[in-house]
Structure 1
Amino acid sequence: MRSALNCWKINRDQPHDVFEFCNDLEYDKRGGKMMESRNINLERTALIKGDLKFTNFGQLIKSTLFRKLIKTFIDELTVKKSYLLKTLEPFQNEEGEFKEGAFIDFIYLLNINSLEEIICSGYFDIQFTYEEYSQLFLGFLEGIYNYWRSIQRFMIKTDVYSADENTKRSKAYSLASNNDAFKKMVLDLYRNIHFNVTGKSVSIYRQLPSGAQVAFLTDNFEFDREVKSKNDSLYKVPYVWEAIFEPPVIFYTQSSKRDGVFPVKDKRILQKFYLDSDEWFAIPVKVGRLLSIVYVQKEYLALGAGLFNLFEMATPEEFTKQKPDAVVFFGLDKSLFEEDEMLGFVTKEEDVYYGLIPDSAGIDYFGYMKKIMLTLHNIIQIEKKAMPVHGAFAKIRVGGKKSANIMLIGDSGAGKSETLEAINKLPKSLACDFDILIDDMGSLHFNKEGELMAVGTEIGAFVRLDDLQPGYAYSTMDRSIFMNPNIVNARVIVPQMSYEEISKSTRVDFVFYINNYEEISESTPPIELFADLDKAYSVFSEGKRMAKGTTGEVGITTTYFANPFGAVQLKEEHEKIAKNTFKKMTEVGVGVGMIRTQLGIPGYEQSGPFDAAQALIQFIDELNKLD
């Protein structure tokens, strides 16, 4: 036994750099110094190189990632003053310093030998009985295994993009296969060590998600000269052209709500920063009909991954030949931002709108990623003389008869999505169903025939778990991304519509303001149509709601047109468009009214949207009877 141990000690290789690990201390390449990245108790991000097929345990145990995983887990145990630190006592020198190499040796041997044999060999100075140390190490094993699974894990493979569909499928299958092999290797390592510590196999095998949660295929592309900006570093970072998800995908972020608005600044900033190709990823998407490029610092890849469930991916044929309408940088150095820009800001340079977000724990929330993109979209729509709307739009059918296209306008937490989803809970005898065409943001314009038309932005929805009907989110678990599911304002990002549906112009029949703060009574019915244009405009422009904790606001609040994403920043320009739109709506016969969801009133979180949905279906049914 001793000779086998010595043989391993002498012949072990240097660590394989097959991983990157964003831990508590990392080198700041921008400033050339060590910097504190995040509080030690917060999740990190692990990047796994996807071009490697995992075939032996040494690839894991001798990796840079494994060493850093042990270090950060021990750091956490130290902060918590955990009893599990006793596990490390045999691997400390006379000064009490942890001997990492010896511990790595021990783990490697424990994968192939029993703990009892290793203790008896005397190779390590384990001053515990087998019974004592086996129980101690089991606690450590379970702790580090659960810690690993709590980390945001991404597999990245650089592979040459091909427009050929069969070639693309083959490359995606190869990456998925590598992730499967990695996941199996992690599970087998855990089970081998567990068996060698206890001497017993488990009775129930749980195939826990232990590999990468999301895998990306990336490449470096050549861009046409006329589409490039003056910052050349933007074209040296890897661009994601394919994504593979391993459900259920659950991410925990450092913040769970959004605050403030993004100010619009007149400043030139493009040449004030450099994107390190080892630190940043580019994600090209289509926000409605607009082309957007999102550059994400690797610490925020969980937010970047959410984009694939919310927006249509742009193809290399599109983003290398077409100048983007909007560009987002998420995770830039704080020194680039002024005091009033610490939640992000918007500027225009070289005829392109840019949204910039600083590297800060406070903005580690998908709402910031989504809303900076939609703010850019809305500002561009205002520039085009279209009216951006913060709302949901659906084609609703009742009894198999004529459908009605309903636009619901309201701020976050008003009950737009919740009212539509409540239609699914209505009795089947009503024979009602709907297609969502806009979930959160879109724009209104009039076609040549004078009809009011709507165009959407997103193919998915970013909704509160608490406000969905029970079990709905879990019925879509195999395609959803869950964000902070165990805390207030837990969210799920779920794909819902096709890009073809949301990007085409669709006629609008009714526009309703969503009122979540008034209780239904004889004087305040669930649905009310406005006969007076001025009253209607006043209600919509005031943007009143009861804040639901989805932002930093509390109680009754007002936001101009319930839209802090562009309308507030460009209020003067927006007001001209909005007044003209409302005037034309009344002229062409578009119904304008209010729906009371009661969502902001305690006790009505489920019944309020249900009652609103029931009233809406009855309203549409009455319209059918009049035809």
Structure 2
Amino acid sequence: MQTPAAIDLASFYANPDRNVAVLDYNSRFITSIFDLVNSDELADFVRLFLDEQRDRTPEVADASTTFNLVTPQVYLATIKAILTDQPDAFAQYQKSEILASIEDLYSYYRTYLRVATMTIKQNDVVASEFMTIDQRFNDLVIRLYRTIEEKLQGHANHVYRQVSAGSSACMLLQELNWQMPAGYEKLKDIRFIDRLMLRPPMMLHTKSNKRKGTFTATQVNPITNFKGTEDDFFCYPAMIGESLAYIYFHRDYMASGLALANLFQLADAKQVADHKPDLVLLFGTPGVATDTDAENGHYFYDQANDIYVGQVPYNDQTTYFGYMKKMCLTLHNLHMIAQKRLPIHGSMMKITFANGQTKTVVFFGDSGAGKSESIEALQQVADDQIVSMETIFDDMGSFTLQGKELYAQGTETGAFVRLDDLSSEVAFNNMDRGIYMNPEQKNARVIIPANTWPRIVMHHHIDMWVYANNYDDAVGVHRFTDQETAKATFIAGKRKALGTTDEVGMSTTFFANPFGPVQEQAATQPIIDAVFDRLFTDDVYVGEIYTHLGNDKSQDKLNESARQLLAELLAL
């Protein structure tokens, strides 16, 4: 079955191949149901819907009596006749069949990720009203649907469900001047996201659900091959840790672009205006001819302007949100290494105990090692010994050695976690804020807010650093007494792959971090040496926790390891 061509009007874009729709309220804002039924936007979408229905509807003897097989003109004429109570509205088609088709059309539209946009100028009154404006359109769509539905069924509904009928989200966009180096002029007209409104829980679906490979350096700045325009690209300005990142994404990657809101702090106009970014990401753009592995992403260090530029190509594989997140973190980590900071692939928790003590513990390891599972197990076995656990970083942070002081900082304000890793309590408590990715599939993910940006970039003391060991058949925790043995374990990055990437079986990754340290091993090694020297000089607990996930995945054994970890924390 061939996918119908996308709709590409000034005010409405819809791509059935990616189930993405973008509405531009500046080009046209519809204010009545009669404007809506007479609009080119609805006519084109009905045409798209009927094309798909024809592909799915079995052949019938008399197509003229099947409402889903009529022309768009007949379909819309019938809707208008129903709305105006024309006596011949049902001359050829039964009410029940028309109603079923209208339900299908309404449901089909809502399968799209529908994002409304508005562009503002400075001090524009629309800035304070953009959510109200968007709500009016949602009310209009649902009113049209209910009016047709109730006229066809002959009575009012008994139950009303206030779904997001018109849009799933709304973006307030702004044109901003930033400190743009020569060669980056292609980005000049692309609008920045100034404010963003989401309607969670959001259930998003992408063609890919797993990341593969690593990002590699390219010899040519990807900006030279950028062909995006203000019509098909948007920029999410993000604070990734303390790095300022301009993330440009194609509108067909709107699912990933919106999910950034639950993961990275949205930089405001003052942080963008007249500032040069540390990082630039071009997402959904072609690479250059000299790139190897054209299906994956690449990065380039623009030394003249001190900017790390990333590029991820447009294809089905890169629709998985992990590509967006991990390329952002790769660029950030490369920036950290250049600043002599050590990127940490792991999770940091600040734990407040019932006895009044507060301890910070960093769980370290590559994807699937058991970092999230260890935190969940620790919460389960703690009973009333733990008052609260604050997430400083969920996936990536950094250690900075400043003189004799070693401190940690986070990068993300949110968490991108497997649904299987979440307890039912955490999952349900965050449902009204979550962005869910392919929730019905294996490796289903959710992105939920976890902390505020000022908190994650604070300088956090480190009390414990443990390697998540998912391959040894041991139980409990083990503290390293020898610095070289500890360092060798962390650098080896050994783990048993659990299906979160394309790897299988035992694997090793330099410093358990394929997002920066792998690409810059020579530059990372002296930073690792200095950090371990400081940790062992200060007698910080450096060890490993046996998660057992690569063996029998025993919850009892993981819980026992968590109990021992709890005892060690209380003893510090």
TM-score in terms of structure 1 length: 0.84
Number of aligned residue pairs: 564
Whole-Å separation in 2 of the counterparts to 1:302 and 1:50: 22
Q: Report deviation, 1:498.
A: 1.1
Q: Distance in 1 between matches of 2:265 and 2:317?
A: 27
Confirm or deny that 1:147 pairs with 2:97. Answer: no
Instruction: Specify the alignment match of 1:3 in structure 2.
Output: none
The change in CA–CA distance for 1:88 and 1:516 in structure 2 (over 3 A counts) is farther
Q: Relative to structure 1, is the Cα distance of residues 268 and 18 closer, same or farther in structure 2, using a 3 angstrom cutoff?
A: closer
Which of the numbers 426, 446, 450 marks the counterpart of 1:472? 426
The answer (yes or no) to whether the contact 2:246–2:279 under 8 Å persists in 1 is yes
1:226-253 CA-partner distances (Å, limit 9, x unpaired): x434221212011111111112222111
Task: Please state how far the C-alpha of 1:84 moved relative to its aligned partner.
Answer: 9.8
Letter in 1 for 2:253: Y
Secondary structure of 1:429 counterpart: coil
Q: Does the CA-based 8 Å contact 1:53-1:178 persist in structure 2?
A: no
Structure-to-structure mapping, 1:338-377, within 5 angstroms: 338-349=291-302, 350-377=305-332
- Measured in 2, the distance between the counterparts of 1:485 and 1:285 equals 26
Separation in 2 of the partners of 1:599 and 1:207? 42
1:76 shift after superposition? 2.5
TM-aligned CA deviation for residue 385 of structure 1:
1.5
Runs (5+) with no aligned partner, structure 1: 1-14, 25-37, 121-125
- 1:579 aligned onto 2:524: no
Runs of 4+ in structure 1 over 6 Å off: 83-88
Deviations 1:19-78 (A, max 9, x none): 322325xxxxxxxxxxxxx3xxx5233334268654311332233332232233223323
2:96 aligned with 1:102, yes or no? no
Using the TM superposition, give the Cα deviation of residue 447 of structure 1 relative to its aligned residue in structure 2, in angstroms.
2.5
The alignment partner of 2:431 has SS state of: coil
2:407 to 428, 437, 453: 453
* Distance (whole Å) between structure 1 residues aligned to residue 22 and residue 242 of structure 2: 34
CA RMSD of aligned residues (A): 2.6
How far apart, CA to CA, are the structure 2 residues paired with 1:328 and 1:278? 18
Aligned-pair CA distance for 1:172? 4.8
Q: Is the 8 A contact 1:16 1:63 kept in 2?
A: no
Q: In structure 2, how many angstroms separate the alpha carbons of the residues matched to 1:251 and 1:329?
A: 22
Distance in 1 between residues matched to 2:84 and 2:374, nearest whole Å: 57
Over the matched positions of the two proteins, sequence identity in percent amounts to 31
Which aligned pairs between 1:261-280 and structure 2 lie closer than 5 A? 261-280=214-233
- In the TM superposition, residue 374 of structure 1 has moved relative to its aligned partner by 0.5
- Give the letter for the 1:325 counterpart: D
5+ unaligned residues in a row in structure 2: which ranges?
A: 1-6
Amino acid at match of 2:408: A
Is 1:558 paired with 2:508? yes
Tell me the residue number matched to 2:564. 615
CA contact (8 A) 1:77 1:85 kept: no
Name the CA distance, whole Å, in 2 between partners of 1:560 and 1:299.
34
Match for residue 132 of structure 2 among 177, 192, 202: 177
CA distance in 2, matches of 1:414, 1:111: 59
Sort the Cα spacing of 1:547 and 1:69 in 2 relative to 1 into closer, same or farther, 3 A: farther
Q: 1:161 to 1:553 in 2, by over 3 A?
A: farther
Q: TM-score, normalised by structure 2?
A: 0.92
Offset from partner CA, 1:384-424 (integer Å, 9 cap, x none): 12111101111122223322211111111222233224444
Quickly say closer, same or farther: Cα 1:335–1:201, change in 2 above 3 A.
farther
Letter in 1 for 2:571: E
Structure of higher CA gyration radius: 1
1:75-224 → structure 2 map (5 Å cutoff): 75-82=51-58, 99-113=71-85, 117-120=88-91, 126=92, 128=93, 133-162=94-123, 171-224=126-179
Kindly provide the amino acid, as one letter, of the partner of residue 478 in structure 1: D
Counterparts in 2 of 1:253 and 1:16: CA distance versus 1, 3 Å: closer
In structure 1, what is the Cα distance between the partners aligned to 2:428 and 2:25?
A: 31
Instruction: Work out which of the residue numbers 347, 362, 371 in structure 2 matches 1:407.
Output: 362
Q: 1: CA distance between counterparts of 2:402 and 2:454?
A: 18
The aligned amino acid for 1:23 is: N
Is the contact between residue 19 and residue 64 of structure 1 (CA under 8 Å) also seen in structure 2?
no
1:547 aligns to 2:547 (yes or no):
no
Residues 20, 65 of structure 1: 8 Å contact kept: yes
Distance 1:299 1:201 in 2: 38
Q: Which amino acid is 2:349 matched to? A: A
Cα offset, 1:558, TM superposition = 1.7
Q: Give the residue type in structure 2 aligned to 1:537.
A: K
- For residue 524 of structure 2, give the secondary structure of its aligned residue in structure 1: helix
In the TM superposition, what is the alpha-carbon distance from 1:609 to its structure 2 partner? 5.1
Matched residue SS, 2:332: helix
Counterpart-to-counterpart distance in 2, 1:600 and 1:86: 59
Verify the 8 A CA contact 1:23 1:72 in the aligned structure 2. no
